[in-house]
Structure 1
Amino acid sequence: MPQQDLSAGEPATHLTTTVERGSFAVARCSCGWSGPARRSRDTARTDARSHTSEP
């Protein structure tokens, strides 16, 4: 099930989710960014947090 990682003060254009593809999880953002496929959901969520914290 996709999860949204929303933080206070983040621009509305950066809404991140994690999507499962088989045994992999991928972080995606509403701005079009997509992270690498990860076996760990937590690592995919970390990728999403890193993306939203970049200037």
Structure 2
Amino acid sequence: MAQQDGTEIRRDTPEHRTSTAERGSFCRARCTCGWQGPARRARSQARTDAHTHAPG
């Protein structure tokens, strides 16, 4: 079961609201537009993926 760490990454827009979700020892960036980043062991890298994805 996936767990969210509750971290909002970028300012919110209706199309792109990003967060991170954990599953086991992996963390993944997700967006409300349906995009998902690759599974990462480092939360910081998942956050970087979200920063790269979200417009801002």
Whole-angstrom CA distance in 2 between matches of 1:53 and 1:31: 12
Percent of matched pairs sharing the same residue: 50
Q: Which segments of 5 or more consecutive residues in structure 2 lack a partner in the other structure?
A: none
The aligned residue for residue 31 of structure 1 is 33
The aligned residue for residue 42 of structure 1 is 44
Root mean square deviation, CA, Å: 1.6
More strand per residue: 2
List, as ranges, runs of 4+ consecutive aligned residues in structure 1 with deviation greater than 6 Å.
none
- TM-score, normalising length: structure 2: 0.81
- TM-score, normalising length: structure 1: 0.83
Whole-angstrom CA distance in 2 between matches of 1:12 and 1:6: 12
